[in-house]
Amino acid sequence: MPAMEQLISDIEAHCAACGISPQKLLREAINAKWGQWQDWKDGKSSPTMKVVDRLRAHMAGAEMTATGHGLVSQEEATGAA
């Protein structure tokens, strides 16, 4: 599977498991504009490797938090939660 198709598939699976939209994930992880997800899916644009790395790190952190492996959100770490 080509890299962009794999990324889209991974994002969709992560979002389904977390109960959020891909648009929300992109906003939280990389501060993307609301139409960014559709642009990626339509092939109008694609992320840089730096953006992909940030996005995957964000998804991994969310999965670790959800499974109770010791990571906390930035708000919890700063006492804002």
Report the pLDDT averaged over residues 48-59. 95
The lowest-confidence range among 36-40, 64-68, 71-75 is 71-75
What pLDDT, on a 0 to 100 scale, did the predictor assign at position 81? 47
What pLDDT, on a 0 to 100 scale, did the predictor assign at position 36? 96
pLDDT, tens digit, 9 for 90 and up, residues 31-48: 999 899 999 999 999 999
Helix (H) or strand (E) holding 52: helix 49-66
What pLDDT, on a 0 to 100 scale, did the predictor assign at position 71? 45
User: What is the distance between the alpha carbons of residues 81 and 74, in angstroms, rounded to a whole number?
Assistant: 9
